[in-house]
Structures are given as C-alpha cells and as structure tokens.
Structure 1
C-alpha cells in the first residue's frame, strides 16, 4: 500500500466525518476549525496504537508535527490538532507499534554481491564439485573465488579432505568459502599458501587451523584463522565497498523497512576493509533512511595500542545524524557446534585437539578489561559476542573490574549461561541480547547439543526467561543472515519456547524500548510518547488478538521514520 492510497487531505468539514463519524452513508457534518494555530501535519486515527509504555499502553489516535508526536489519545482529543492542511490517515483499526530495532545484524555482509557463488549443503562430493566447476567458469577473472553457505558437519562427513575436494577442481587459484555461521572458512591449497598457513603453523589468536588425524591441513579454518584468510580474499576484489553499498541500498534497507525495522546496529564493521567508509558514504549521499549504530570490529591479532588509538579516532555521534559510530564489537569466543565457544568444563568430544578442550578466546578477560578502560571514557558501548558459559563469565568479570558503570555494554548470543551469572547482568547493568528467530534455537533442538555438552549444559539454551526473571534487560535481534531478519518470527518464537518463553509484552519491548536503550536513543524513539520522534509501523493484524503461530505471518503495511513514510 503506498502513500497515495492511504493518505487523504481533508477540509475541516470533512475531517469531522473521520473523527466524529458520519454513518455508513458518509454524510458530512459541519465542524468549526479550532482556534489553536498549532495544528498537526498528520493525524492517524481509528487505530489500535500500542505505545509500549506502562502508564498508557493503548491509544486510538496520534498527531504528528515536524516529525514529532504531539498527541496520543482518543479520537475526540485528536480533533484539536486538525487544520485545513492536516493530512488524516484512517488506519481502519489496524495495530500501530513503535519502529522495531535489530541490534545485532550484518547488513553490509549479508546482501553484498562481493561473493561469487553459494555452496549449499550437499550429501555428495559431486554435488560440491559441480558448484565449484560452475563458479570457476562463471568467474574466470576472479583473483580469489569467494563463496558462502555450506554446512561444515555435512562437509566433514564426506570421504575426502575438504581441501582436496576443491583442489581436484580448482588447483591453480585460491578458493575460500564461508560456512553459514561465518565461524569457519573452507579453503584450498592455493589459499592456504597465500595466507602463509602450512603444516607447522601455530593457531592464531582466537582461531584454529583444521587438521586431520595425522596432523595434515584439511582446509578448514576455524574462527579467526578463517577471518584472516577472508580479509586477504576481500582485499583482492577491489570493489567490495561498492558491492556493499549497492547491496544495502537496493536490497537490505528496503527489506528492513518492509519488515518494520527502523533502527539497526551493524554488529561487525570491518573498518580495515573499508566498511566504515561505506557507511559514511551512505550517510553523506543521503540514501540512509534508517537509524544506524556501528559496532567497530576489534581485530584480535592487532596491536592493542595502535588499535585503541584508531578506534578512539572513529567515535562520532553527531546530533540529528542517522549514523552513529559508538559501539565496539568484541568476540570472547567461537560457537558451540565447532567446539570453539569458551566453556568452563571440557566438551564431551575432542574434535580440534585444543589444550583443555574448552574452546577458544578471541580476547582474554584481562585484554578486554584493557579495552574497556581505554574506550569507555570516549563514549563507546561494547557489543560482546559471548556464547559459552566461560566466555560469558569472563566478559562479566571484565566489565565488573573495568567499567565505570556509565556504559551500556551488552553480551550477545548468551547461549550457555551459568545460572550463577543470571543476576550479574542486572547487577552490572549489562544488556542480554539474544537471537531466537532461528529454528535451531528452539527447545526441541536442545538435545542436539547433548553429545557436545552433556544433558545439563544442553538444557535451557538461550535462557531469556531466566535472565529476565533475574532482572536483566533483554533485547532480541536476528544476527541476519544466520537467522531470518523477520522480527515477527523472533517474537513468536520468544513467546512459545517453553520453558524459556517470555510474554508478548516482553518480546515487543525487547525489539523496541529495550533495544532503543541499547542504542542510546530511548529518549527519542522506542516507544510512542508525546515529544518523541514519529518512528512507527502499521501492521495487518493485532498481535494480541491472534495465535502465536499467526504472529509469524504478520505483515507490515506502513513504516514511518521521523514522521515520513519510508515503506
């Protein structure tokens, strides 16, 4: 539905029909225009407006002037805000929500055409090799052939070394393929050579070089070992920035707006690869239509002193700008399925032959403390990837030891949390950011982690109810494209994932006012209140009147940002 379809400019006489009612025959009645000159630009009437406030959670009408909400209340009270030039929108009883936030998303990486091909999950060697043949023939001039999308479990089950599988098809130029979680890269011999990775190489900080049972390289680079190789591949492209720019403008931003998402946090800005420049160009060109906070990537292998200086220089929160550079993205650990998430007790399997078999650290607790002390005074909040109970515990320890208590640090993913740490989130003012939109996070999948973690640790994964009951501020996000960016799937999953389900009210708050707090903009958006900016969305159904399963099918019919219709 476009603006022309929904907006009608009325005279003062016709407006009384909309707000006072004229009956089914639409007979007009006369209304004398109010004497108050402070008329609104727009009035939204006949709506079910869920404000996400405790004092007044529901309203029927809303008036907006100069992009700001000037009235929320009943239909009668909205009349005084209507003048000859006021545009009135009859929303026909539809539900209105504040604009939704996604505080953990990868909007440049996930839509860029910088990658050359997709390698889906195949059960046979021929399936993968057919894709590789096609990719090589379609991209004859690519210095590195870059792919995305495979599942590492299926790949390792094949009767061939992953490295050899590629070598048989493409032996003469480097190939790198990102696994769908982004926590491992699959490469051939040529790529290993260019990355200076060989049989005697030591694992880099936060990474693992995959080997077979006799110590030979198998072509799988876990976590930061893969990131280092991918940086080389991306540098060879020459046009990553333009591809990221085009992907965001033409695909990602329109899709986000169509799902009612008006604010995002880029959860991993590779500033050494020009991604910060891309965001600044989007802002300078006037094509950025939503509110964005950037999480600058903290490179684990970098010199702390030089990296801290660089990060400090990037901080920017220009007033009234849609773009803010005010967050740092840290990884404490890897992920569970690779056994790289940092755990207090060893895994039940020992695939990677790591010392202690308790996962990896991108950053140690002591090193994170150093960055908090250096960067928090500049205004930075930290978005800390922490999945295992040890990674979460060490991150909380670092915040407790180094933070002055004024920052809004958050731990994202929070998959295996020691119950002893539940209360520490609230006590330390740390936000718990979780992703439950992915089907794999649902409780009926928890048992799949038992072979890695045992029954006790595999239970209550992503414990959003337990964290909330212990006072933690909760935000929900997507980690797109690991999971769908559709927030209504996230909301539906959040309220149905017993025994770790939360209420519908809590789920909506996690996508709105809580997330706005995480982005330091709760004073202007995140709820619908007089004096706040008019960031809001219109839905095709009332979430409180449908089944939880029907919530997943919710469609956004209109998205408004600062009083302007963006979708």
Structure 2
C-alpha cells in the first residue's frame, strides 16, 4: 500500500514537473536559425541557431533545441544558410573625427606627376565655390620625388590648396596655402628630421610639411571647423564601418589638428565623448567605442596627461563608450625616413628620429600602468620597437602584470626583439595592407631598409598566431587606409594572402613570410581585439551570456577563395541585439513566415505531453 501511495504521488507530480521544466527556459526576444554560425568559441565552433533576450545571448545550438526559446512574442529570423560571425572588432582605427582628412579629390589612381596635377586641376576647376582645395593620396615615389608649391600652383593658382599624402602624415601646399597658413622661412621645425618643413636652400618652405608639422597651418588657414567636421566625420565613418560588420572599435586616438596643443586637444577629447555619449543615450551609437588618449608631443607633462585621461575614464567607462588607455605616437613613417632605427636606413646616412624619447616611453608606460591604463604604442622603427618592449618588460617587473600594453603596427622588428615579444606574449596590432605591395611598399622596403632587413625584420606578425597564447589583431587603420577599405574582411584577405586585395596583379609580400590561416585571421578581427579592449568576456565570440553582437554574411568565409574574401558582402550587422546595418532589399533573411513557418505553441507553451510544440515547414 505504501508503494502504491508513492506511485500515485509521483504520478501526481508529473504534470507539475513537466510544466515547470518547460517554463524554466526563458523565451527569447529574437532567434536566428538555419544558419552556418561560426562562434569563435573553441568549445563549440559551429552552430545552427542563436537566441537572444534583451541584448544578451541566451542560447547557442541547433535548430531543434532553439524551439524551446520561441513563443508568440519571439521574432524568428531564418538565416537561410547564411553565415553568422561575432560582430567584428577593430583593434586600430580612427573613426571619430578623421574623415576631414579625406576631403576633396582622391589621387590613388594617379601614375605620374602629370596625373596628379591634372586630377587636382580638374577638381579645382569643377569646384570654384570651395575656398580651399583639398585632396589626398599622393605618393612621392609615384610623383617622382617630393612635390613643391610651385608645381601645385599650376593646378590651383587662385586660392589655397592643401593635399594629404597617402599616409595622411604629410601635406602638400601651394603658395597661397603656405601664405594662408602663415608658413615662412622663419617657421620652426617641431622635431628636425622627423616633423619638419621641406625647404629651399635659402630656408623658405618648398611646399611639403612632413609628419603633421602642418597642423597649425591648417588651423590658421581657417580649414578646421570642429563642430561641423567632427560630427560629419563620425556619422560617415560609423555608418560605413557598421555596414562592414564592425560592432566595436578601439579608436587609437582622436585625430584633430589640435593634436600637438594639449589645452586645445583636451577640449576636442571632451567634445568627442560628449558627442558619442549623446548618441548612446538615445540608442544611436552604432559601434562600441573604446578611445585612447594620444601622446604625441613630448612637451606634454606625463602626470597631467595621465590624470586627465583618468578623469575621462571615470566619466566614460561603460561597455559601449569608454576612455580605454593611452596611445603613444613617438615617430613618423619608415618610408619617409622619420622612424627611429637601430641601424642606418639603406637610402640615407641616418637612423631616423623619435619625437618621444626612450625615457619618456618608459615613464608613460609605468605611470599609466600603475593607474590601470593600458598603453598602445605606434612602433614603426626597430629602435622604437625595442625601447617600447623595454618599457613593457620594466612595467611587468615592477608588478603591473595585469596591464595589456599593445604594440601597434609592428613593421620593423629586430629578430632578438621579435623573440622577446614571443616570450612575453606581448599583444600586437597591424594592418596587412601596409605590409603588402600597396602603393609601392614592397619596392620601398628594399630601397629604405635593404634585402636582409626586408626578409628578416619586416611584418613578422604572421608568425605570432602559431604560438600558443599569443594575441594578434588586424585592422585597417583608417584614415591611413582609405575609408572604403575599413572592412575587416579586407584585412582578413590581406593577412591570408599577403597581397593587396584591391589589386588583382598584387604579388605576395614579404616573400619570406607564411600567410595566416583563415581561422587565425577571423580571430584577429573578433576575439583577439576584444581581449585588447578588455571585453573578451562580453564580445568577440558567440557564447551564452555575451552581448548580442553579430555580423551576417552573404557567403561562408571558409568556402570562399582566399582572393575573394574581401568581396563577401555583409547582409546585416547587429550590436547589442539591434540592427545597425541591413542590406537594402534583403528579402533573403525572413522573419516568421516565408521560408520558415513557426506554429506557435499551445496556451501554456507546451503540448499535451509537456514538450514544446514548434513544427517547421521548409
């Protein structure tokens, strides 16, 4: 009799048990199913379906299991076999205010001096209403040497002209542009040999300002309008980046003409955060933004600089908008002989110059790390790379072991220092395009650095992912890359081919390097830069508990040809569970109905046996 009572007691509890077991699963706001979902999670690399509640992922698995998360209020999105990845994360771009450097005529297609001047003249003639003629993209090698103001006068004789080179570090003026900017033979060079005016024998300016010495002239000429240009720039760059699948950026420094004036630069930083915060508060910030404070002028007091960064971090420190750390920009570019090398350049009797010396690099790392700020350093020349590694090592020995200091660019690295990077697992970011034969980089490498260094020191980033625990991110570095190349898949193709994706005749370079694997390159635009942003537990992979940041692609990256990856179209981008980009006339991603019918569950969400009742017609 006792056993019979127990039996009926158990039977009596069954409906309640079945009911509560069904109700334990929280229904999702939105589910995606029938997809090829690459999660970047080593414990579960692939899935068919994902469920989200509010802005978080609540399920990752197969199409059958996702049924448990659907009720009448759930939006069901049929991926139709499309590929989903975590939202792309950029470890190095300048998206907030840099589009002002891309005004006017684009010159990348020019093949000679005559082409440059003709393209500029045609633009100026067709835009008579513009008080200053802007442009960008000239290359002194293609031009046949450094351009001059007198030559630019032939194209624009009637008003100022200011034309950026392809790196956005150097600017070419015509005579009226120099006059408007107040540039004369008495104008001092900021850092002789690195940031300077190219001059005639009598000391008068020839027409080119090297390594951003032109900033004050740009402002004095009336070219800078921050309220208008920063707002427009942010809107253009964030919309463009969202359309490429980007959901997060480490903005490696606010780039404005006030970069070398601390008081004015502080105001620009405050303005940029206020602008982004206002967008965030109304739900229109399309990209998570973690911004670094740029240290470029060695006259800036380090203590004051760090203190100001900490004030901004205290005010802006969310998972969508944050002052992240410090960016040191100590030098220029190797292919203008304005980076600091351990040995002489091959083309001149000089080792180059640094604007932020070895001692200052050490001071900034130690003081920043002590205060919980990571340091990201532009390392272009071999000496700068070594001194930065020294500073990182000293900070670790001091006890700042939680710091995540990152080497940015990693162009030229002595083999001994490369081994130190491997040994200490120092994280790196680079731009694959800059190491390819784009804009004559391959030719310049041999010319400026010689065969031995080109084959043994240059762009060794591809070797890093094969070493366990090493962290490498890749990105475009807009505006040094043209804005239209901000697409993370463009960088992925560059890393797995060592070629320029936009040039079908590009040859792999450097020839001594092994390209990255596709899986490695995908991690370099997702989980690795997420780690560099201290967000690896919240973004960078598709896992339960992380934010609902996704990109949906038209094609599977792993099935595309290596030279076709950059051409894969983005179908949609989702950040924090909301669409930030959708391809026009998509028609292929379907909500409830169409390819995927959802028969909603019965009254209590369970069938008569206590199991979810979702039947699918394909």
Q: TM-score surpassing 0.5?
A: yes
Asked if structure 2 preserves the Cα contact closer than 8 Å seen for 1:104 and 1:478, the reply is yes
Asked if structure 2 preserves the Cα contact closer than 8 Å seen for 1:365 and 1:397, the reply is no
- Deviation (angstroms), 1:432: 0.8
Selected match of 1:387 from 371, 380, 395: 380
Selected match of 2:449 from 436, 450, 453: 453
In the alignment, which residue of structure 2 is the partner of 1:162? 148
In the alignment, which residue of structure 2 is the partner of 1:371? 364
Q: How far, CA to CA, are the matches of 1:55 and 1:42 in structure 2?
A: 24
In the alignment, which residue of structure 2 is the partner of 1:92? 80
Residue correspondence of structure 1 range 179-258 to structure 2 within 5 A: 179-189=165-175, 192=178, 198-199=184-185, 203-205=189-191, 206-212=194-200, 217-233=205-221, 236-237=222-223, 239-249=225-235, 251-258=236-243
Distance change in 2, residues 1:226/1:358 (3 Å): farther
- Deviation (angstroms), 1:232: 4.2
Asked if structure 1 preserves the Cα contact closer than 8 Å seen for 2:38 and 2:83, the reply is yes
Asked if structure 2 preserves the Cα contact closer than 8 Å seen for 1:99 and 1:526, the reply is yes
1:552 aligns with 2:566: yes
Structure 1 alignment gaps of length 5 or more: 1-32, 351-355
Q: Can you list the C-alpha shifts for 1:273-319, whole angstroms capped at 9, x where unaligned?
A: 72541342132143312101112221315332544443343324645
Asked if structure 2 preserves the Cα contact closer than 8 Å seen for 1:49 and 1:61, the reply is yes
1:266 aligns with 2:267: no
- Deviation (angstroms), 1:209: 2.6
Distance change in 2, residues 1:566/1:125 (3 Å): closer
Selected match of 2:519 from 505, 509, 514: 505
Distance change in 2, residues 1:409/1:466 (3 Å): same
Asked if structure 2 preserves the Cα contact closer than 8 Å seen for 1:114 and 1:240, the reply is no
Asked if structure 2 preserves the Cα contact closer than 8 Å seen for 1:47 and 1:92, the reply is yes
Q: How far, CA to CA, are the matches of 2:325 and 2:125 in structure 1?
A: 39
In the alignment, which residue of structure 2 is the partner of 1:300? 297
Q: How far, CA to CA, are the matches of 1:457 and 1:443 in structure 2?
A: 20
SS of the equivalent of 1:411 reads strand
In the alignment, which residue of structure 1 is the partner of 2:346? 348
Q: Can you list the C-alpha shifts for 1:87-117, whole angstroms capped at 9, x where unaligned?
A: 1111112211000011211224443488455
Q: Can you list the C-alpha shifts for 1:140-196, whole angstroms capped at 9, x where unaligned?
A: 674x654433222334538xx602224566678654322120121222455556766
Q: How far, CA to CA, are the matches of 2:219 and 2:139 in structure 1?
A: 21
In the alignment, which residue of structure 1 is the partner of 2:407? 411
SS of the equivalent of 1:245 reads helix
In the alignment, which residue of structure 1 is the partner of 2:120? 131
1:359 aligns with 2:352: yes
Q: How far, CA to CA, are the matches of 1:468 and 1:358 in structure 2?
A: 30
In the alignment, which residue of structure 1 is the partner of 2:27? 39
In the alignment, which residue of structure 2 is the partner of 1:13? none
- Deviation (angstroms), 1:450: 1.0
Q: How far, CA to CA, are the matches of 1:85 and 1:399 in structure 2?
A: 52
Distance change in 2, residues 1:145/1:311 (3 Å): farther
Distance change in 2, residues 1:130/1:556 (3 Å): closer
In the alignment, which residue of structure 2 is the partner of 1:280? 274
Once the two structures are overlaid, the 10-residue window that deviates more, 534-543 or 121-130, is 121-130
Q: Can you list the C-alpha shifts for 1:298-347, whole angstroms capped at 9, x where unaligned?
A: 13153325444433433246454521112222123221221112211111
Q: How far, CA to CA, are the matches of 1:75 and 1:167 in structure 2?
A: 66
In the alignment, which residue of structure 2 is the partner of 1:177? 163
Selected match of 2:418 from 419, 422, 432: 422
| Structure showing greater relative contact order (alpha-carbon pairs closer than 8 Å, 6 or more residues apart) | 2
SS of the equivalent of 1:366 reads helix
SS of the equivalent of 1:64 reads strand
Q: How far, CA to CA, are the matches of 1:535 and 1:320 in structure 2?
A: 16
SS of the equivalent of 2:543 reads coil
SS of the equivalent of 1:253 reads helix
In the alignment, which residue of structure 2 is the partner of 1:353? none
Give the RMSD, CA atoms, in angstroms.
Answer: 3.1
Asked if structure 1 preserves the Cα contact closer than 8 Å seen for 2:250 and 2:291, the reply is yes
- Deviation (angstroms), 1:506: 0.8
- Deviation (angstroms), 1:200: 6.0
1:57 aligns with 2:45: yes
Q: Can you list the C-alpha shifts for 1:53-74, whole angstroms capped at 9, x where unaligned?
A: 1111111111111111111112
SS of the equivalent of 1:398 reads helix
Structure 2 alignment gaps of length 5 or more: 1-20, 257-264, 499-510, 582-618
1:543 aligns with 2:537: no
Q: How far, CA to CA, are the matches of 1:147 and 1:442 in structure 2?
A: 19
Q: How far, CA to CA, are the matches of 1:312 and 1:67 in structure 2?
A: 29
Asked if structure 2 preserves the Cα contact closer than 8 Å seen for 1:392 and 1:414, the reply is yes
Q: How far, CA to CA, are the matches of 2:548 and 2:270 in structure 1?
A: 28
SS of the equivalent of 2:277 reads helix
- Deviation (angstroms), 1:136: 8.1
- Deviation (angstroms), 1:542: 1.4
Q: Can you list the C-alpha shifts for 1:347-391, whole angstroms capped at 9, x where unaligned?
A: 1112xxxxx611221211211111222323333222211112122
Q: How far, CA to CA, are the matches of 1:491 and 1:130 in structure 2?
A: 32
1:331 aligns with 2:332: no
Asked if structure 2 preserves the Cα contact closer than 8 Å seen for 1:384 and 1:411, the reply is yes
Selected match of 2:93 from 98, 105, 125: 105
- Deviation (angstroms), 1:139: 6.0
Asked if structure 1 preserves the Cα contact closer than 8 Å seen for 2:182 and 2:217, the reply is no
Q: How far, CA to CA, are the matches of 1:273 and 1:377 in structure 2?
A: 25
- TM-score computed with the length of structure 2 as normaliser: 0.77
Q: How far, CA to CA, are the matches of 1:82 and 1:260 in structure 2?
A: 26
SS of the equivalent of 2:292 reads strand
1:523 aligns with 2:537: yes
- Alignment size in residue pairs: 525
